[in-house]
Structures are given as C-alpha cells and as structure tokens.
Structure 1
C-alpha cells in the first residue's frame, strides 16, 4: 500500500503543477526511504520558490507555519538530497523576504551548522554558507553568529573548520562594522590551540580578514593571548594586507537607505562601496572594562602617608600593577586622584614618577571619563616639570599628554599660560613645550580670546633672557599662524623684528598641525610658487646664461605671489618709511649725477642683512617685475632649504637605522662566534671522551685476556697435583720393602690428602679413595725399607709445588 502511494505521489510530483498539492504532499515525502523521491520533491519546491510572484505567495505560508519541514531538508541523510534541500532553503530566503528569515532562523541555523558546514561535498558547504549570508542580509548578524559559536566546541574537526570558514565568509562579505567582531575575538585564541591543523589554518584566514577591517586593534586584543611563534606567523601574514577592504554585501535595511539617497539608480549593487566602507574599529570599544578600585590595598592611605619613602614607593608600585588593564570601569576615582595629586608634590622623585605613571594608566583606561579629573591634576603636573631627570620628566609629560587627549585646550590653557610665566626657567620651558604639543594636536581652532592670551604671553617670552624660551615663543607663534592664519595675527606680527620674523617663518614652514580645515603647505610659510620659475645652476644660484637682450623684467609667464612672507612684509613696510634720495631737477644735474657720486652726501652703511635687503629694495634699478622675481626666488630658496632639511633628516634617520642594524649584526656575529666556540669545545670534549673510551676498552680487553690466562693456569694447577700424586704412587709401588713402604705411603697420602683438601676444597675425591686403599691394606708395602728417602723427596717436591700454586691463586684473587 505504501509503495503504491509512493508511486502515485511520485507521478504527481513529476506531472502535476498544482502548487498546493505539491506542498501538501511534501511532509509525507520527507519521511519516505527512497532518496530520489525526496530529491525530486526538494527540486520541485525550489522551483516554486523561484517562480513565486511575491514574498506573500502561498508557497511560503506552509513553511512559515512549519519550519520543521525545512529542518528535515537540511538534516537529510542522503548527501545529494541534502544539497538540493539546502539549495531550496536559499531560494526560500531569497524570495521569501524578512519573514522567511525571522520565523525560521532558530530552527535552521543550528541544523546548517551541524550537517551543512561539516559536509564533505563542496557544493553543500557553499550553499550552507549562502543560506547563512541570506539570514544575515535579511535581518541582523548577531543571532546568526551566536548560533554558530557553540559548534566551535564540537569534537569533529571538520565541523569546527567548516564553521570557522563560514565565519570568515560572513565577516569578509559584511565587514566588522555590520558584524561585531567582539563575538568571535574571545574564541580565536582557543581555535589557534586546536589540535587539528585545518582548524588552525582556517583560523589564520579568519584572523587576516578581521585584521584587515580592525587594523592594529586586532593585535592589541589577540596577540597577548597567543604563543610567540603564532604571533610571529600572524605578523608576517598581516604584512601582506593592503588597505582596508570594502564590504561586498549590505543589510536589506541598509540597501533601502542607499536606494533612497541614490535616486534614479536601478541596481543597488552598483552603489559605490567606498561610501559605505567600514572604518577601522577602536580596540577600546571591543574590550570589557575591569573593576580595579577594590583591588587597591586596604591600607593604601596609611602607607601612602608614611614617613618612610620606601613604604610610599612600595604601595604605589602595587597600585600601578593593578592598573595594567587597557580598559577600566568608570567608578569614582576622586579620592585616588586627590592622593595622587598630593604625591606629585612629594620630595622623593620615585614617588612622583610612580604617581605620574598611575595617572597615565588611569587616563588611558578611562579615556573620555577621565575628563572630570583633569582640572585637579594639571597644575601639580606642570609644577613638577621643574625636575631635570629625564625619566621623571618623561613620566610627567606622558601624564600631561593624557590630560590633553581626553579634555580640550580651552580647559588647559589658563594654567599652562600661568606656568609659562613661572620664575623657574625649567617650568617655563616645559610648559611652553606642552602648549606647543597641545596646539599641534588640537583639531579645533582656538577662540579669538584664547589666541589673544597666547600671543600676549608669547610676545613677552620673545624678550626673555634665555634663548630656549625665546625660540619656544617663536614656535608657539608659528604654530598659531599655521592654525589660524596670518591675517588673524597681523596686529601682533607687526611689532616683531625681522630676525624673530624669519625664525617664525622657518618654524611655520616645518610645522604640522591637525586642525580641521588647515591646509598643509610644503614650502615656506604663506609663499606660493610662480608658474615658471627662473633656472638655477647645480649650486642653487640663479643661472646667468640668458639670451642676449633679455632682462629679468622680460621673463615670460611670471605671476605675482598672492601673499608674501612675514619677512617680505617687514621689508616692504620699512622701505616705505625711509625716503629715497631726491633725483636731480635739471637735465644738467642728472647728466653729472649719473657720472659720479656726491662725496659730501652721507649714506647709511648696511650693518646687517636687514639693511642690505632694504637697500636692495630701494634700489632704483629694480622694477616691479624684478622685485616679483626676487620674491619668487626667495620663496623657492625657502622651499629648497626646507626640502634640504627634510632630506637631511631622512639621511640622519637612515644613518641611525644603519648604525642600529650594524650593532645588531655585530651582536649576532658575537653570539654566532660564541656558539661556534661552544660547538668546538663540545667537539674537543667528545674527542677526548672517545679517546678515553678507546683506552678503557683496550684495558678491559687486556684484563679479560689476563683473566683468561689466570683461569687456564688455575685449571692446570687443579689438574697437575693428581698427576704428580699418581706418579709418586707408581714410584712408591716399586719399593722393595712392602711394610716400610706401606707406612710411608700411608703417612704421605694422609699429608698430601690434607694439603689438597685445604687447597682444592671438595675436589679431593681421588685422594680420599687412595687413602682408603692404603688404610685397607690394598697396597701392602714394607715400611722398614731404605727407600723411604725417595718418598720423602717426592713429598717435599709436592709440598713445594702446592705452595707455588697457592701463591699464584692469591695473586689471581688480587687481580
């Protein structure tokens, strides 16, 4: 019956075009065992989605009410049918709209992560990733990424690698501004520690994608959690990143906004992606804040007020250790700030240094929330700049820079100007340097009242008795000129002498500011290039080789400078105040006046470069075009000097770098030499050990040979007494007197038997048997015979031989 229904259903799926019938029949088809029937059903449903008229079509309704049908398509056991089912889900999302996303997301994403991303078929894996991208585009990315993260803890390595690859596609297509990277930054160190190399490789690709969008913020967060070798490999891979990428896909809500602004644009995909590219993220926004106030020692106040400086230094070091985190929780630090402000006045410089470092860490950890503590700290910090030790001064300067970074120049200007007029020269110098740093870093133009206050103090410092203070005052003025423009400061610049004006021009030409709207100029201050400058020789001088009859005034394409420098303005104003000598009133006087000079007339001798320039400006031979040429040449000279300084600075930098590299090379060569000497020493030791080993082996062989010789002699000794004894018995048996012979042989056998028993131990069987023979009367010999002397001699010989064998045995035992 089931087979018949299956056949009928199969035929209907192939031939019937009724949408409702196909949809109603799909739940029964998903439970059948024949995979081809399921495959064809998934393909028919995919066609229905693609041919739908709108996202409200009836083909979507059944699946919106029963998302389990889509989940069964993803979880299909047959890989071919599964791929067709995931393809149908992609069409369902593409043509079903936001409802198809939000109402099926919770059931489908987990199934895709479990079965689709871990598939061995590339097509199935890619279609699974496409389905995830559709879920993100139709709504928001956070639920999708959060649903994928649990799969990263799976035991199957290919599933983990597939999920990491899917996350890489998500961030590569939408960018880190749409998809918050904080969701995956915590698991990246764990993925780098995975045992499977494919997982680590996919994690490296994901890290490169995140780094291209985040910039150095990725390094700040991740590198401290990785091994040194992993840091080195990632840094090498990051060097190949070129610029910030642009997203390839946009959220549907974003597309609507762009379509509204881009009226008349038919295809949203043709929108300039550069306009919606994500900026590099700030690492501070991606870090969780850490609460540190509770970690400060409970006896902090008592120890910081101790009369012993070691106690104060020790407790400040403990506090500094707790402020190591990059982001701190925004608590009430007012009590701590007051204590640190008091520490800045301490007589011990270590206490001052540690307090300044804590202020810097606190400012960096709070950032904008540090703003309310700046007014309490700025005056004690400026007061302490009187220290001349560079390490202390560096810590105080870093704390001052943090105060400005998270406040504004308006809040810091009044105390800074106050300490710029301090009686201590060191405080005056460091306060002026601090104001210069603030002016260069500020992004807003100071108010007119603030500019007036700065210029009043700067003009007073230009007449200071110390040269560094005068130079800093000129640099402050030049920075203000670069920010606000010469026009706004013209009333102050008119009273400055030419030497200081020239120095202001030099500082202004090399000054770089961050004020919004300020135009950076590479040449001298407020000097513009002429369209056709004069030619110069290789030494930078005006080339005198001009065509005959062509004067300076006839130089073509010569345009006026739009705004002369401060020095040229000064010269122009002085040239108008000094009247020139009156010319002759008659032709006669004019003809005589041109021939010779009136000796009675008094002339002012040019005592310096200013008077010389004034004389050149008032010379009648220079007309307006020549003066314009002179000004243009002066501008080009200033520009050339500036470029020369830049090239010299680059050369000095390269020289220092070469010196540093040479020093590093020398250190490496020294280490290599030490390593080589160590290797040679080890080789010598090895050769000596090998020689000792050979000698030992030779000695062992010699001892073994001696042992073998001794053993052979011992065996010979054991065998030799029996032979001698038998020989003695044969000689004794030949004696004539049997009775005497019996007595002597009995005595000899007993004596020899005892000696042999003492020497040979248990090997006396032969002697004992012989003794028994003599005692039993087997050898009946006359003991009164005269031949007993021969037996005695044999006995003595045997004794001597036994003693000799005993001595050899003792020698052998000693060996």
Structure 2
C-alpha cells in the first residue's frame, strides 16, 4: 500500500475505516480512536458519543480477524472505558464483555490476553463486579479448553485485584468442582491458582464449602498449596465509589489511609452467607420413624447414620423440624451410646445449618442433653458438649441458666461436673452481663458446690465464681465470699488472673479511668475561686478512689479481715503513734470529714471580696450546677422508669418461658396418653375378636343340639311305621285263614248291629298270627322312651334359648 493509497484511506470517514476490509486501515483507525479517547477533555466529549450510540463498533473491534488489529482495538476499548467513566461502562457492557470472553481471553498473543483482562478490570472498577463475572461464567462451559483456561485466569486476576469482599466468591464457588474435573490440565492448573487466591481471602471457609466436593487426591494437593499462603492479602484496586469515599475521609482527617478504610469495612466471610439453603427433610429416609423405633440397636444406628450424612450441608432450609427434634430428644435417652452420639451430632449440624432459626428448639433439647452427660466415655461427652455449645450459641445465657443450675445440683456427680463446665463456657462466651437475680442464683449454687465431697466439683465452683467476678466485678461478689476459707480464695484468684471473657460490666469498664487520674491528695490552689472550687470538687469525688488504688487482692483482703481474730504483735500504746501511721492499709482508717483547720483554711480562701466578673462567673457556675442537677434528677427518674420497665418485661418474659415449658410438658404428656390409648384400643379390638369367635362357636353348638332331637324323632317314627306295617300284615293273614272264617262272618253280623269293638280290635292289630308274640309290649316301651327323650330335648332347647 503506497502513500497515495494512504491518503485515500485517511480521507474516508472514521466509521467506514473502523469497518474497512483492509486490516491496516482498521489498525490505523483503532490507534486514532485510542488517541482521541486519551486526549478527551471529559466523559461527555464527542468522541464517546459515536460509540455510545452504536456499541456494536466496539464489539467488532474485539472480534477483529487480524490479531494485530484486534490487540490495538482492545487497547482502544481500555482507553474508552477508563476515560469514558461509568456511563460508558453501563451502556457497552453487555456487548463488549461477551466478545472479550470469546475472542480476547482465548487469544494466543499474551499482549491481547493481558489487555482483555485490563478491560475487564476497568469495567469492574467503574461499574459493578457482579454483572461482569456473570457475563464470564457461561464461557466456562465452552468446549474449547483454551477459552475455559483464559476465563479462569481472568477470574483469578479479578479476585486478586479487588478481593472477595468486593467481588462475592459465591458466584464462582459452584463451578470450581466442575473445573477441577476438567479433562485439560491447563484448566485444572488455572483453577488451582484461582482456588489459592480465594482461599487467601476466605480462609477455612473455602475448605468447608469446596473440599467435600473434591476427590481425596485433589484435597491433598490443595492442602499443600494452601500451606504456602502467608497472611491475608490486601486488594490492589478499589471501586470508583470506594475511592470517592476515601477522598472524602481524607479531606476530613489527614490520618486516615486507604488501608485503614479497607480494614474497617472488611468483615470476616461466613460460609453461611455464601451458600444456598438445602432442603434436608425431603432427603431423610421415608421409613425413618419406623426404623428409629426398632428394638434392634443396629437398625437405629443405621438410620441415624443415613440421616447424619444428609445434614452435612453448611446451610439448611428453614422448615418445621419439630417432629425430628422430638425424635432426637428421645434418642438422647437411648440405652445405646452410639445412638446418643449420632443424635448429638445431628443436633449440632442442625443448629449450625439453621443458626438463628434454631433458637425455638433449644428449650426442648437442653434438658435431655444435660441429662445424658452422665456418660463417662469421652467421645460421647464431646458430641454432647458440641451440641450444648450450639444450643447456647443461638440462644442466650438467661434462657439456659435455669436448667443448667438445676442439673448442677443433680445427684449424679458426672452430671454436676459437665453442667458446671457448660456454665463456665457460657459465661466466657456470653456478650451480655448477667442480671442481679441471675448472679445471685449462680453464686448460691457455686457456694453449695464449693463444699462438695469431690475435688473436681469444688475446683469448678471456684472457676465459676472467678469467671463471674471477671464479668460483673469483684465488688458485687464481695458479700458472697465472706465465709470462704483462704484456700478457696486463693484458687479463685488463680482462675481470675487467667480467665478471659467477652462481656465486662459497664461499671468495671469505667473504673480504670478515674484510677489513673487520681495520684495525689487534693490540695487547694490560690489562683482564684474557680480553681479552688474545681479542686475541692475533685477532692470530694476522688477521695473514695484512694481506697481502690490501694485495694489489695482478694486473698490479702481476706487475710486482713481475718487478722482481727488471730493474736498478733502488740499495737502502740500511745494514741499519737497510732495516728501517725502512713501505710497504704491505713488510708481507709482516716476520717473523710474535714477537720476544723481545713474548714478554717477553706473559709480564708473564700472570704476575700469578689469583683464583678468573678461574681458573675460564680453565679453562672451556680446556675449551671443547678441546671445540671435538675437534668441529673430527670435522667435518674427516666433511668428508674426504664429499669422498672425492663424488670417488668423480664418478669413477663420469665412467665412466658414458664408457660412455654408447661405447654411443652403438656404436649409431651398428651403424646404419652395418646400412645397409651392406642395400645388400649388394640387390646380391646383383640378381645372383641375373641368374644366374637366364642359366640360363633356357641351358636354352632346350638344348631347341632337342635338337629340331634329331630334325627331321633325321625328314627322313632320309622320304627312306629315298621310296627304298623307288621300289624297290618298279621291282620291280613288272619282274614285269609279258614280257621277264622266263622269269626269273619260274626264280624260282619256284629258290624250290622252297630258295635265297634271288633273294628277297634282289627284296627288296633290285636289279632296276630302268633298269640305269644310280645311285639305290642315292645312297641309300648319304645313309645314311652321316645316321649321321654322328646321332652328332654325340648327342655334342653329351652335352656339354650335362655342362654
């Protein structure tokens, strides 16, 4: 391309040259645009307007087919974003970032790749990091390994420059396990670098979220890489909005630096805020209730292990876990210690997964957990202690104090020991100072445990007293320790010196300031009335603090209080000698009332005549004093009112807690009654079935009995018919015989005469072939027997009908 051609190209409009088919023309146009951006007077310059109206020009610069022109185009985009401001970023972000991820980060030229990363950093600094990172994430699913590795390297640079507080790591934590499983080694290497960067900012939170999703060999390699991390890095760049805040702070104070602002604004990252909640109730085995009530302990352990694996997620969905909590509270009473251990671990994970939402289940679990601390196996105690600590973490000392003190007085020594240890942990971790009633209840139990027969319990009671003394101050507990011997007092002093607590009473905090100010007795100055009045006021207000400065330790005070009963050296006989002692232990023996000489000297200083200015000053001071005293009274009244209101609310809270406990116990009793009623119902149903079976048997026997007499009657009737047929046969034979022919004629003759004797004889069968036959006698006997049996059967049937 000669010089004439260059002149022709330069004469073309800028937009046409930006899209020219000759790459050198496009290159010159890109360089020209870059110089225009850098030399612009403001963000509203005309050179930015062309690209704001048509952002596709910037996208074509990134997508240039020539690598040299592409690098120049991306460099021009960096200048466009840097000098164009946030408006240029917002309007061109959607078109440019996706193009940079596709072409710029996948380039083989190191300069193009670095300029692409710089452009992304400018987009984040001038706008917001979340849209930029979200635009880069789809490129991680690309099939080209070179592109995926370039995007991961860009994400590493973003988090290295801005830190995890500005750029939330939640956006990329879900894709890191997938990137570690990528087939390309370069992608895995870049993912390792990104993990190291995130771990340096997040700490152990990164391990909690990521390690469970990786293979053991990957966990081992990452752990070795994490050991090389030294401290928490400082972000290299800040957002433009943060830079404005720092500039405003610097104008107000010259001592504030950028690092100080970052340290003040940075908070510890929590894994709970970086992950999404998981619904674990739907993943619990469907036959959980059936298997947890199995008489075989292996079945109960197996279902609890399956449930424990489902509760491994750091954040759980806020759902109704009341049925599960009740089952776990019953499992804590199981005879098998493996069941108890697994139930305690599930409670711990449930509390950590719900956090503040776990508060409503604490009162149901605290008593079964404390009751089960009777186990002496350390692994079981560790699981129960962890569950107890979770219960306190998401509740308060006031809620757990009553059941804890109750189990500190338990008859089992092991329960007393573990309950005392739990109270010590609660006192050390609580951030609120216990109330006066709570202090009183704690000290009463502690004093009782100091006289326990077991040495570990006595030591724990001393530690409880020392921990409480560290919180509320030594003065408030002085009245409780009057009757304690020196050995226990010494033990309390040892625990007090090594104890560390989070909550310190307000009076104890403010006690150090006046102690440092007062170092000499009060004296009067002769410079004027104002100085003397101020000094006198200081003397009156700080005289009691002299005893605080010279106040000995608890042991020495105890020894001093008991020295009156022990014989010692004879004191001075002269009153003058006893009054001239200046030891520090004798400071409190001096009278606090001013002597006559002091009052005279004070009167001498106040008697001189006052001029008008001093008198006006005195009057103003008196008015100020009166005003402040009135305000003090008003504030004191308000404080008393608020104190009464707080006490009233605390009383109501205690009543509600008592009602809640009673309601919980009532629900438990109702559950027991329901189970008993179910068992009674089952027994009643079985008894009804038995009675029905017996009734059916009785009815079947009755039918059999009724059928039996009918059969007998039929047989008797058949016999009678047989006898009748026999008699009829005999009658017919007698009629045919020659020997009886005359009798037949006589029979006819008599018949005409109207007599019925012969007919009755024939009909009754008296005429027989054999006159010696006794068949009639037998027939009469059979008939009588049948009648008797029929009567007997009728009586039996009437008896069964009555039954």
Q: TM-score, normalised by structure 2?
A: 0.63
Tell me the residue number matched to 2:167.
Answer: 179
Tell me the residue number matched to 1:710.
Answer: none
Describe the superposition over 1:571-592 as per-residue Cα deviations: whole angstroms up to 9, x where unpaired: 2223356675546869xxx9xx
Tell me the residue number matched to 1:325.
Answer: 313
Tell me the residue number matched to 1:91.
Answer: 79
How far residue 33 of structure 1 moved from its aligned partner, in angstroms, is 2.5
Question: Equivalent residues in 2 for 1:600-639 (5 A)?
Answer: 624=583
Aligned partner of 1:130 among 112, 118, 122: 118
Aligned partner of 2:41 among 53, 57, 63: 53
Rounded to whole Å, the distance in 2 between the matches of 1:627 and 1:155 is 88
Tell me the residue number matched to 1:464.
Answer: 452
Rounded to whole Å, the distance in 1 between the matches of 2:156 and 2:27 is 30
Q: CA 1:627–1:125 in 2, change beyond 3 Å: closer, same or farther?
A: farther
Tell me the residue number matched to 1:40.
Answer: 28
Rounded to whole Å, the distance in 2 between the matches of 1:91 and 1:171 is 22
How far residue 507 of structure 1 moved from its aligned partner, in angstroms, is 1.5
Rounded to whole Å, the distance in 1 between the matches of 2:315 and 2:221 is 27
Rounded to whole Å, the distance in 1 between the matches of 2:77 and 2:572 is 104
**Alignment RMSD (CA, Å):** 3.7
Q: CA 1:162–1:265 in 2, change beyond 3 Å: closer, same or farther?
A: farther
How far residue 502 of structure 1 moved from its aligned partner, in angstroms, is 0.2
Rounded to whole Å, the distance in 1 between the matches of 2:392 and 2:234 is 34
Tell me the residue number matched to 1:510.
Answer: 498
Rounded to whole Å, the distance in 2 between the matches of 1:26 and 1:286 is 48
Aligned residue for 1:262, secondary structure, equals helix
1:165 is the counterpart of 2:150? no
Tell me the residue number matched to 1:607.
Answer: none
Alignment: residue pair count: 552
Aligned residue for 2:380, secondary structure, equals helix
Tell me the residue number matched to 1:570.
Answer: 558
Q: CA 1:143–1:516 in 2, change beyond 3 Å: closer, same or farther?
A: farther
Describe the superposition over 1:313-344 as per-residue Cα deviations: whole angstroms up to 9, x where unpaired: 44333333332333322110011111222232
Describe the superposition over 1:443-480 as per-residue Cα deviations: whole angstroms up to 9, x where unpaired: 33323332222112111221223322211110100111
Rounded to whole Å, the distance in 2 between the matches of 1:469 and 1:265 is 55
Aligned partner of 1:250 among 238, 241, 250: 238
How far residue 304 of structure 1 moved from its aligned partner, in angstroms, is 3.2
Aligned residue for 1:316, secondary structure, equals helix
Tell me the residue number matched to 2:362.
Answer: 374
1:149 is the counterpart of 2:137? yes
Question: Equivalent residues in 2 for 1:678-757 (5 A)?
Answer: none
8 Å Cα contact 2:164-2:201 kept in structure 1: yes
8 Å Cα contact 2:56-2:95 kept in structure 1: yes
Describe the superposition over 1:608-656 as per-residue Cα deviations: whole angstroms up to 9, x where unpaired: xxxxxxxxxx9x9x9948999xxxxxxxxxxxxxxxxxxxxxxxxxxxx
8 Å Cα contact 1:164-1:206 kept in structure 2: yes
8 Å Cα contact 2:367-2:403 kept in structure 1: yes
Rounded to whole Å, the distance in 2 between the matches of 1:116 and 1:268 is 39
Tell me the residue number matched to 2:9.
Answer: 10
Aligned residue for 1:388, secondary structure, equals coil
How far residue 519 of structure 1 moved from its aligned partner, in angstroms, is 14
Question: Equivalent residues in 2 for 1:219-230 (5 A)?
Answer: 219-230=207-218
Tell me the residue number matched to 2:426.
Answer: 438
8 Å Cα contact 1:175-1:278 kept in structure 2: no
1:263 is the counterpart of 2:251? yes
Question: Equivalent residues in 2 for 1:415-564 (5 A)?
Answer: 415-515=403-503, 563-564=551-552
8 Å Cα contact 2:51-2:58 kept in structure 1: yes
Rounded to whole Å, the distance in 1 between the matches of 2:507 and 2:437 is 23
Rounded to whole Å, the distance in 1 between the matches of 2:83 and 2:429 is 52
Aligned partner of 1:412 among 388, 400, 414: 400
Q: CA 1:271–1:480 in 2, change beyond 3 Å: closer, same or farther?
A: closer
Q: Could you tell which deviates more after superposition, 165-174 or 196-205?
A: 196-205
Describe the superposition over 1:389-411 as per-residue Cα deviations: whole angstroms up to 9, x where unpaired: 33333332222121112222121
Aligned residue for 2:323, secondary structure, equals helix
Tell me the residue number matched to 1:293.
Answer: 281
Q: CA 1:155–1:285 in 2, change beyond 3 Å: closer, same or farther?
A: same
Rounded to whole Å, the distance in 2 between the matches of 1:76 and 1:455 is 80
8 Å Cα contact 2:104-2:113 kept in structure 1: yes
Q: CA 1:202–1:345 in 2, change beyond 3 Å: closer, same or farther?
A: closer
Rounded to whole Å, the distance in 2 between the matches of 1:393 and 1:471 is 20
8 Å Cα contact 2:550-2:584 kept in structure 1: no
Q: CA 1:450–1:60 in 2, change beyond 3 Å: closer, same or farther?
A: same
1:400 is the counterpart of 2:388? yes
Tell me the residue number matched to 1:282.
Answer: 270
Q: CA 1:225–1:112 in 2, change beyond 3 Å: closer, same or farther?
A: same
8 Å Cα contact 2:250-2:257 kept in structure 1: no
Rounded to whole Å, the distance in 2 between the matches of 1:572 and 1:339 is 57
8 Å Cα contact 1:213-1:279 kept in structure 2: no
Rounded to whole Å, the distance in 2 between the matches of 1:349 and 1:64 is 71
8 Å Cα contact 2:408-2:416 kept in structure 1: yes
Tell me the residue number matched to 2:350.
Answer: 362
Tell me the residue number matched to 1:203.
Answer: 191
How far residue 520 of structure 1 moved from its aligned partner, in angstroms, is 14
Describe the superposition over 1:757-778 as per-residue Cα deviations: whole angstroms up to 9, x where unpaired: xxxxxxxxxxxxxxxxxxxxxx
8 Å Cα contact 1:436-1:479 kept in structure 2: yes
Describe the superposition over 1:205-264 as per-residue Cα deviations: whole angstroms up to 9, x where unpaired: 211111110001111222233333332322222122121112222222223333333325
8 Å Cα contact 1:173-1:249 kept in structure 2: yes
Unaligned runs of 5+ in 2: 510-514, 517-547, 588-803
Tell me the residue number matched to 2:104.
Answer: 116
Rounded to whole Å, the distance in 1 between the matches of 2:549 and 2:400 is 38
Rounded to whole Å, the distance in 1 between the matches of 2:401 and 2:205 is 32
Q: CA 1:5–1:565 in 2, change beyond 3 Å: closer, same or farther?
A: same
Rounded to whole Å, the distance in 2 between the matches of 1:117 and 1:94 is 19
Rounded to whole Å, the distance in 2 between the matches of 1:190 and 1:217 is 19
Tell me the residue number matched to 1:538.
Answer: none
Rounded to whole Å, the distance in 2 between the matches of 1:223 and 1:111 is 33
Aligned partner of 2:331 among 343, 361, 377: 343
How far residue 267 of structure 1 moved from its aligned partner, in angstroms, is 14
Tell me the residue number matched to 1:785.
Answer: none
Aligned residue for 1:104, secondary structure, equals helix
8 Å Cα contact 1:89-1:131 kept in structure 2: yes
Rounded to whole Å, the distance in 2 between the matches of 1:215 and 1:499 is 45
